Every structure is written in structure tokens, then in C-alpha cells.
């Protein structure tokens, strides 16, 4: 049963009971519709209450149904809303917890709404690239001021019921019920039922007017603001159009227009990408062979080894979540430096008003420092973030194995080393896992969870749950060089180098990919992260895989000491103390000379070619990762790129983007790149999985 039917005296109470969020899927709609009919047909029933079971009223439409026959099957949300609105007995929505999207739209069709204090109300459709398509844009501005309603619709943010109830002249709620909600709502409904039986008319939101004193000027102003804020997203501007219709047209015309806009948005690539990202984030926390009810280990105290760039940031994540940390270093100076950086970061937040002084002090009080491994005895999780050197990692893991308590999770933040070798330094490889944070670790959302050959399932379940607590998006990766993110970015960087050899400047490549939507192009990124990191990796590769081709330009740059912002010069020049990238004549000359040495005549390369060579380099490597089982799902790869590498959200990640282009077309483009004698033909051999999916007309993502 998705909807319960109970009688409270003369009031029928219909309770949405469809965990976890009382979503308005087809079964719920059918049962609610049947419940309404039954209550209306029962002469003993004076009034009807619709409420939600559990923690909330309703999270809204079931977005899994979007685009499927179920979404339009009768009764769809529209017909259900019309049925409620046309009811001949008072219908009262009794709202608590949260009331979102379609749930709020349903309640706006009710004759009355009562709410429990602290209820969160929102129309969050815009966050999925949509607008409220079941009357929300037409009815909300009829009960709230147009400005209040529009702010909610365009931002998608939740507003508390008390705040809405306190706004004079705005009547989303008829009553805030302090005591037991259903009892209060039933009493309210019974009173309204009696008034109605005595001849009082039923108030309907559709009969109200949405008014604004100066609509033309107001909507023009809002349009300008929205345009500046939502450059790549069409939905906010369509929300404005729909609310304007609520002011300027009658309700039926407004509803029809809202529907038209909704359907158009539903098929935009932006909305498809946002919905993909929404599901991808949830899917990332599920691991195919780790059941959701796997018991987790308790983590109440964390140890961090190494107080450098990463160790400090990692520590802050746990302090921010209220989890005590013991930070270990090898030398007192390093420890002092690390703690000073943590303090400086917090103090900057206090100065900017993002953190209160007492919160800062509370967080700092959770931090202990030490030079002795014995002090990590009581830690439930210990994360190593020392130098990227197998010898040093070995020392650390052998020491941890000596002191850590049984069942403690031992994690490494290594970005390139073999986790299984690290695990083998201990007598408990099943307790070892990789936790690959991204820099700055207290800011970046992404956490790659590296699953070793022997990592225990409950260790994985524990760290996935912990990731949520410290507000990270965790994605599981198998063991390989670079894991998911860096293994793919290496192919992207190789293509960027070949583009220089063939005729591009660094700024042309960066501009093209930034116009595509990346937060930063490969060369600006290199300057920010430090070009010496890639240099060290290439030196290692030259020994391991001497046949692997690279453009030499990045090495030439490093040989000149141009490591990036930290040395004041890299692919670009930097004015002292500034981060703005200034095109460097010296680098252009260096690239041109190298090209001449290779005997290459430069050619003009179109932005489109630049973008597709870079992005398809990611896609092809992504396909290999899937095939090798390093990545569990294509959507995991997209999550890595959206949260860790600045891939444009409105394109949904590299695999989603490739699907949108059509995998057949992706393979055709790769074949064309392979015909370029200056590119690496082997590079463009489609990964077998990509070739197969393309031939079968299938996609990477669902
Ligand atoms: P870092 O050089 O800033 O910090 C390393 C710290 O470890 C230093 O403070 C050093 O004193 C300390 N240390 C060295 N040996 C130690 C030992 N035996 N016991 C205790 N402390 C010791 O290095 P960073 O950048 O923080 O990197 C640390 C790890 O994180 C490496 O494995 C690196 O690959 C990984 N990583 C680095 C990222 C970055 O962007 N910097 C990103 C993701 C991972």
C-alpha cells in the first residue's frame, strides 16, 4: 500500500506511505486518486486530509519515471491535481518535514494547507534543469508574492514554513500546527467541513490573482539577473517566463504554457546531464558486490600521518565533521608548519565570515599532534599522506601495522603507487584501502576510494559512509596507475601536447576547452598544479614504457625551471603575486622552435578539433577502465570528472557527453584523428568496449 486510508471521525486521512520520500510515482498516484474518490463518495466524510508517513510529506515526482510511460500514465500528476482541486469536500494538506516539487504542487491544489513548524518547502526542479511542471509556476505566485515565489522557483532552494507563515499578506499556509500534526489537521479539516456543509465556498488557489505593481520592469530586471547567473543553463530563464505568464495570463493559459516549457526543457541536453549527475552521485555510493546492509566499522577517532599539503587538508575534513584527529609527523618543524597552515586556513574562513570564532576553537580542540606512533593506538582509521615514495610508505605502513589496534582501517592517499604492494607491508591487507583526496583536500568534493585486491567489504562500506559524513563524493576505483581520474587525464594531457606540436599555442588550446566549459584548460591547470609533477611521472614512464610517445614541449618547459605559478612562470608568465595567466612569447618561441626541429609545418587547428581530441582521449581511456573493471560504472567516471576535474556539469561528464554525441560518431571522429600522420594512430584505436557499443548502437550510461 502506497497510500493509507483512515477515518478520524468525519475526516478521511489519506497518508502517502511510499518510503523513502513518499515520491509521487504511478502506484502512489493511483491509490491517492482512489482514496479521494472513496472519501468523496462516503456521505459520512465531511473533509479530507492528505499527509505523509515517516519524516516528510513528499519529496515530489518520482524522477526515475521521467521520460517513461509511467510518468504520463493516468492518473498523471496533472489529472491527480485537477481531481484534488475539483473535490467537492474540503481537502487539507498536512505538511511536515519537507515538501518538495510535485509534493508542493499537489498541496497547492488542496483547498487548505497546514504545516508543522520547521517544514522545508521547495520547488527544486531547476536543479535538474527543469521547471515545476505540475502547476507550481502558476499556483505558487498566486499564494505568495510574485517575488517570493519566483525566488523559490529560480533558486530551487528550500524555505522554512515559519518564514513563509510570517510574511504578511502571503498565505501558503492557513495554519502552523504546533502539536500533533494529523490530529491538528483533522480538527481544522472537520471545522472547514462543517462550514462547507453550511454553505461556505471552497477556496481554490487557481481563483486567486498573481499580482505585481510593475511587471514589465520587474521581469526585465529578473531576466538580466538570471542571464548573468545561469549562462549555460536554460531552465532559470524559462522559470521566469512561466512565472510571468502567471501574472499576465489566465490560469488555464498559464498552465498550458508551463507544460510547453517543461516538455521543451525535459529534452535539453542540460537537463539530461543534470539528471544523469543526480543519479550518478547516488549510484556512486553503491558497490555492486557490497550489499547495502553490510555492517560498518565505527570510526570515532582518526589518525593522519604526514602534515604536508595533503595531510593538513585531510585533517581539516574530519575536524569539520566533529571527528577528533591525531596528526603525526616525523619532525617537529614539519608538524609546526602543518598546524600553522591549518590555523591559517581556518582564520581566513573566520575573516571571511564563513566560520565563527567559537566553531574554529571547537575544531582546533579536536586536533592532537604527535611524533610518536604509539599515539595512534586508539585510532579507528589512519590515513597516510607522506612523500610519494614506496620506501617511505613501507616504513610508515610497517610502523602502523605494529601499533594500530585490530580492526583499524589503514588508508593511503597515494596518487600513483600500487596499493596492493602497500597493503603487503602489513599483516592485514584486508584492512588497507586507498583514500585518494584531491588538492586542496579540504575543498575538493572528490574522493577516489581505491579498492585493493584484498580490501574487505566492510572496510569499503565504512569508508563510503564516512565519505558522506565529511561531505565528499566517493567513487570506487580499482588499483592501477593513476586510478580513474589521473589515468584518463594523462591521455588528455598527451593530446594537448600533440596539439602544440602540430600548430596550437597553449592559450589557444586552453581557450577552446574552457569555451567548451572546463573550469581550466590543460596548460593553466599544469601551471596551477605544478608542471614538475608530470615531469617526474614522464621520467618514470620513460623507463617503464619507453615506446610511449609524448610531446617534448612539457619537458623543455621544465628544463627551463618553468614549473608554473609557484615559480612565477610556466606555460604562461605571471606578474609577481598574481595568478592571471599572461601569454608568454618565450614559450611560443620554444614551442615553434621544437616544431621546426621536428620538421612540422604548423597548421591552423579548429577549436572543434581541439575539444574533440581532448575529450575523446578521456572517453577512450574511460572505456578501457570500464572494460578492465577499474571503474564499476560509466556514471562513476562522470562523477570523478564532474567533482574532481572541472568537467562542465551541463555536459554530464565525459561518458554522458560521448553518449549524447552518439558513440558511432565518436568512433568516426577517432578514425579521422588516426589518419593525421602527426597524431599517434595507436592512440586512436577505439577501446574494444567503445567499438562494440558503437557498433551495436548502444550507450555507456543508462
Ligand atoms: P608533502 O611533501 O606536502 O607532505 C608530505 C609530508 O609527509 C611532509 O610534511 C613530511 O614531513 C611528512 N613525512 C614524510 N615522511 C614521513 C614519515 N615517515 N612519517 C611522518 N611524516 C612523514 O606531500 P603531499 O603533496 O601532501 O603528498 C602526500 C601524499 O599525497 C603523496 O602520496 C601524494 O602522492 C599524495 N597526493 C598529493 C596530491 C597533491 O596534489 N599534492 C593529491 C593527491 C594525493
Tens digits of per-residue pLDDT, 646-690? 999 999 999 999 999 999 999 999 999 999 888 787 899 999 999
Q: Which one from 31, 65, 125, 270 is the annotated catalytic residue?
A: 125
What pLDDT shows up at residue 167? 84
Q: Say how many Å lie between the CA of residue 421 and the centre of ligand 1.
A: 18
Sequential DSSP letters for 250-264: -HHHHHHHHHHHHHH
Q: Which one from 105, 258, 329, 490 is the annotated catalytic residue?
A: 105
Q: What does the radius of gyration of the chain's CA atoms come to, in whole angstroms?
A: 29
Minimal-distance CA residue to ligand 1 atom 9: 308
The average pLDDT across 550-572 equals 95
The average pLDDT across 269-279 equals 95
Q: What is the pLDDT of residues 590-642, one digit of tens each?
A: 999 999 999 999 999 999 999 999 999 999 999 999 999 999 999 999 999 99
Which ligand 1 atom is the nearest neighbour of the CA of 437? 43
Residues 6+ apart with CB under 8 A from 490: 482, 537, 621
Which ligand 1 atom is the nearest neighbour of the CA of 311? 26
Domains and CATH numbers, the chain: 3-265 (3.90.226.10), 302-477 (3.40.50.720), 485-696 (1.10.1040.50)
Minimal-distance CA residue to ligand 1 atom 8: 308
List phi, psi (to 5°) of 288.
-50, -45
**C-alpha cell at position 345:** 586556513
The average pLDDT across 310-326 equals 97
Is a pLDDT exceeding 90 seen at residue 543? Answer: no
Q: In what order do the strands lie in the sheet with 175-176?
A: 3-8, 11-16, 47-52, 91-95, 112-115, 175-176
Beta strands in 607-669 (DSSP E): none
Q: What is the pLDDT of residues 396-428, one digit of tens each?
A: 999 999 999 999 999 999 998 999 999 999 999
From 308, 425, 447, 528, the mutation candidate for ligand 1 (largest count of ligand atoms within 8 A of CB) is: 308
Sequential DSSP letters for 12-78: EEEEE--TTTT---HHHHHHHHHHHHHHHH-TT--EEEEEESTT-SB--S-GGGTTSHHHHSSS-HH
**C-alpha cell at position 534:** 608530470
Is a pLDDT exceeding 90 seen at residue 162? Answer: no
Minimal-distance CA residue to ligand 1 atom 1: 308
Q: Which of 54-63, 255-264, 542-551, 562-571 has the weakest average pLDDT?
A: 542-551
From 303, 304, 305, 311, the mutation candidate for ligand 1 (largest count of ligand atoms within 8 A of CB) is: 311
| Calculated CA dihedral for residues 134, 138, 144, 150, nearest 10 degrees | 90
What pLDDT shows up at residue 608? 97
What pLDDT shows up at residue 441? 95
Residues 6+ apart with CB under 8 A from 375: 303, 326, 328, 368
Active-site residue flag, 627: no
What pLDDT shows up at residue 542? 86
Is a pLDDT exceeding 80 seen at residue 261? Answer: yes
Whether omega for the bond prior to residue 671 falls within 30 degrees of 0, making it cis, is no
Contact 397, 422 (CB under 8 A): yes
Is a pLDDT exceeding 80 seen at residue 326? Answer: yes
Is a pLDDT exceeding 80 seen at residue 381? Answer: yes
Q: Is 685 helix (H, G, I), strand (E, B) or coil?
A: coil
Q: Say how many Å lie between the CA of residue 327 and the centre of ligand 1.
A: 13
Arithmetic mean of pLDDT over the chain: 95
Question: Distance (Å, rounded) from C-alpha 198 to C-alpha 248?
Answer: 35
Q: Say how many Å lie between the CA of residue 491 and the centre of ligand 1.
A: 25
Beta strands in 473-626 (DSSP E): 473-478, 572-573, 582-583
**C-alpha cell at position 183:** 490530529
What pLDDT shows up at residue 461? 98
Q: Say how many Å lie between the CA of residue 385 and the centre of ligand 1.
A: 5
Residues 6+ apart with CB under 8 A from 76: 29
Residues 6+ apart with CB under 8 A from 60: 21, 23, 24, 100, 101, 102, 103, 104, 105, 124
Active-site residue flag, 105: yes
Minimal-distance CA residue to ligand 1 atom 37: 310
Is a pLDDT exceeding 90 seen at residue 390? Answer: yes
Q: Say how many Å lie between the CA of residue 409 and the centre of ligand 1.
A: 19
Which ligand 1 atom is the nearest neighbour of the CA of 393? 18
Contacts of 249-258 with CB under 8 Å at 24 or more apart are 251/138, 251/206, 254/137, 254/138, 255/135, 255/138, 258/131, 258/132, 258/133, 258/135, 258/136, 258/137, 258/138
Contact 136, 101 (CB under 8 A): yes
Q: Helix count (H) and strand count (E) of the chain? A: 29, 19
Percentage of the chain beyond pLDDT 70 is: 100
Q: What is the pLDDT of residues 461-520, one digit of tens each?
A: 999 999 999 999 999 999 999 999 999 999 999 999 999 999 999 999 999 999 999 999
The average pLDDT across 324-353 equals 97
Contact 499, 613 (CB under 8 A): yes
Question: Distance (Å, rounded) from C-alpha 208 to C-alpha 169?
Answer: 13
Q: Say how many Å lie between the CA of residue 696 and the centre of ligand 1.
A: 46
Q: What is the pLDDT of residues 163-193, one digit of tens each?
A: 888 888 888 999 999 999 999 999 999 999 9
What pLDDT shows up at residue 648? 96
**C-alpha cell at position 52:** 505523509
Q: What is the pLDDT of residues 443-472, one digit of tens each?
A: 999 999 999 999 999 999 999 999 999 999
| Helix (H), strand (E) at residue 223 | helix 215-229
Is a pLDDT exceeding 90 seen at residue 65? Answer: no
What pLDDT shows up at residue 165? 81
For residue 472, give Cα distances in angstroms to 310, 314, 392, 463.
15, 11, 27, 11
Contact 326, 425 (CB under 8 A): no
| Calculated CA dihedral for residues 581, 584, 587, 588, nearest 10 degrees | 120
Whether omega for the bond prior to residue 225 falls within 30 degrees of 0, making it cis, is no
Beta strands in 173-253 (DSSP E): 175-176
- Selection from 399, 413, 348, 405 nearest residue 370 by Cα: 399
**C-alpha cell at position 178:** 504546533
Q: Say how many Å lie between the CA of residue 280 and the centre of ligand 1.
A: 31
Give the binding-site residues of ligand 1, using a 6 Å CB cut-off. 305-311, 328-330, 334, 385-388, 392, 395-396, 413-415, 436-439
Question: Distance (Å, rounded) from C-alpha 410 to C-alpha 456?
Answer: 12
Tell me if ipTM is over 0.90.
Answer: yes
- Exposed e or buried b for every residue in 125-141, given b needs 16+ CB within 10 A? bbbbbbbbbbbbbbbbb
Is a pLDDT exceeding 80 seen at residue 67? Answer: no
Band (pLDDT 50/70/90 cuts) for residue 527 is: very high
From 375, 385, 486, 645, the mutation candidate for ligand 1 (largest count of ligand atoms within 8 A of CB) is: 385
Q: Say how many Å lie between the CA of residue 359 and the centre of ligand 1.
A: 27
Q: How many CA atoms lie within 13 A of 701 on its CB side?
A: 27
From 387, 410, 527, the mutation candidate for ligand 1 (largest count of ligand atoms within 8 A of CB) is: 387
Q: What is the pLDDT of residues 194-242, one digit of tens each?
A: 999 999 999 999 999 999 999 999 999 999 999 988 889 999 999 999 9
Amino acid at each position: 500500500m502506497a497510500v493509507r486510508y483512515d477515518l478520524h471521525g468525519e475526516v478521511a486521512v489519506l497518508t502517502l506511505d511510499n518510503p523513502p520520500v513518499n515520491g509521487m510515482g504511478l502506484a502512489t498516484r493511483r491509490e491517492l486518486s482512489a482514496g479521494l474518490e472513496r472519501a468523496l463518495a462516503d456521505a459520512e466524510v465531511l473533509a479530507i486530509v492528505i499527509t505523509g508517513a515517516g519524516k516528510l510529506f513528499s519529496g515530489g515526482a518520482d524522477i526515475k519515471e521521467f521520460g517513461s510511460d509511467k510518468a504520463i500514465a493516468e492518473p498523471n500528476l496533472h489529472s491527480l491535481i485537477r481531481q484534488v482541486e475539483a473535490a467537492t469536500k474540503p481537502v487539507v494538506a498536512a505538511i511536515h518535514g519537507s515538501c518538495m516539487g510535485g509534493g508542493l504542487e499537489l498541496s497547492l491544489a488542496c483547498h487548505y494547507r497546514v504545516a508543522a513548524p520547521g517544514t522545508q518547502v521547495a520547488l527544486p526542479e531547476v536543479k535538474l534543469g527543469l521547471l515545476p511542471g505540475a502547476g507550481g509556476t502558476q499556483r505558487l505566485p498566486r499564494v505568495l508574492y510574485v517575488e517570493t515565489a519566483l525566488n523559490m522557483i529560480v533558486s530551487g532552494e528550500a524555505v522554512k514554513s515559519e518564514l513563509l507563515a510570517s510574511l504578511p499578506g502571503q498565505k501558503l499556509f492557513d495554519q502552523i500546527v504546533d502539536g500533533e500534526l494529523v490530529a491538528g489537521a483533522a480538527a481544522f479539516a472537520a471545522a472547514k467541513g462543517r462550514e462547507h456543509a453550511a454553505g461556505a465556498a471552497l477556496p481554490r488557489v487557481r481563483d486567486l490573482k498573481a499580482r505585481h505593481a510593475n511587471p514589465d520592469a520587474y521581469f526585465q530586471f529578473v531576466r538580466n539577473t538570471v542571464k548573468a547567473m545561469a549562462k549555460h543553463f536554460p531552465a532559470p530563464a524559462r522559470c521566469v517566463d512561466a512565472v510571468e505568464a502567471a501574472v499576465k495570463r489566465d490560469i488555464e493559459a498559464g498552465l498550458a504554457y508551463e507544460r510547453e516549457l517543461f516538455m521543451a526543457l525535459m529534452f535539453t541536453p542540460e537537463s539530461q546531464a543534470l539528471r544523469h549527475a543526480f543519479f550518478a552521485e547516488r549510484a556512486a555510493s553503491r558497490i555492486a558486490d557490497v550489499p547495502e546492509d553490510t555492517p560498518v566499522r565505527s570510526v570515532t577517532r582518526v589518525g593522519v600521518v604526514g602534515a604536508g599539503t595533503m595531510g593538513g587538508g585531510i585533517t581539516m575534513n574530519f575536524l569539520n565533521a566533529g571527528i577528533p584527529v591525531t596528526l603525526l609527523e616525523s619532525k617537529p618543524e614539519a608538524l609546526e608548519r602543518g598546524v600553522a597552515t591549518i590555523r591559517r586556513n581556518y582564520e581566513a574562513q573566520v575573516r571571511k565570515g564563513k566560520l565563527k570564532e567559537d566553531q574554529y576553537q571547537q575544531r582546533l580542540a579536536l586536533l592532537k599532534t604527535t611524533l610518536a606512533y604509539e599515539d595512534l593506538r586508539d585510532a579507528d582509521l589512519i590515513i597516510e599522506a607522506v612523500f610519494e615514495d614506496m620506501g617511505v610508505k613501507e616504513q610508515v605502513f610497517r610502523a602502523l601495522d605494529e601499533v594500530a589496534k585490530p580492526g583499524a582501517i589503514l588508508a593511503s592517499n597515494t596518487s600513483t603507487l600500487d596499493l596492493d604492494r602497500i597493503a603487503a607491508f602489513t599483516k592485514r591487507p584486508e584492512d588497507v584501502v586507498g583514500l585518494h583526496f584531491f588538492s586542496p583536500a579540504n575543498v575538493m568534493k572528490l574522493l577516489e576510494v581505491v579498492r585493493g585486491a584484498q580490501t574487505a567489504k566492510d572496510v569499503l562500506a565504512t569508508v563510503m559512509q564516512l565519505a558522506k559524513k565529511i561531505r565528499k563524493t566517493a567513487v570506487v576505483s580499482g588499483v592501477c596507475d593513476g586510478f580513474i581520474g589521473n589515468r584518463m587525464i594523462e591521455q588528455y594531457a598527451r593530446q594537448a601536447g600533440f596539439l602544440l606540436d602540430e600548430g596550437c599555442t597553449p592559450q589557444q588550446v586552453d581557450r577552446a576547452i574552457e569555451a567548451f566549459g572546463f573550469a581550466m584548460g590543460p596548460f593553466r591547470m599544469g601551471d596551477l598544479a605544478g608542471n614538475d609533477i608530470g615531469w617526474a611521472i614522464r621520467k618514470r614512464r620513460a623507463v617503464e614504457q619507453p615506446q610511449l610517445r609524448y610531446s617534448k614541449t612539457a619537458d623543455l618547459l621544465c628544463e627551463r625551471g618553468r614549473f608554473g605559478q609557484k615559480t612565477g612562470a610556466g606555460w604562461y608568465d605571471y606578474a609577481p603575486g598574481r595568478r592571471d595567466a599572461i601569454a608568454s612569447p618565450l614559450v611560443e618561441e620554444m614551442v615553434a622552435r621544437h616544431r621546426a626541429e621536428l620538421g612540422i609545418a604548423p597548421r591552423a587547428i579548429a577549436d572543434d578539433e581541439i575539444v574533440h581530441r581532448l575529450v575523446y582521449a578521456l572517453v577512450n581511456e574511460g572505456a578501457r577502465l570500464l572494460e578492465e573493471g577499474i571503474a564499476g560504472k560509466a556514471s562513476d567516471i562522470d562523477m570523478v570528472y564532474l567533482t574532481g576535474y572541472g568537467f562542465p556539469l551541463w555536459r554530464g561528464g565525459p561518458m554522458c557527453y560521448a553518449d549524447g554525441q552518439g558513440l558511432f560518431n565518436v568512433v568516426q571522429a577517432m578514425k579521422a584523428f588516426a589518419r593525421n600522420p602527426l597524431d599517434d594512430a595507436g592512440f586512436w584505436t577505439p577501446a574494444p568496449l567503445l567499438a562494440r557499443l558503437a557498433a551495436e548502437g548502444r550507450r555507456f550510461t543508462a
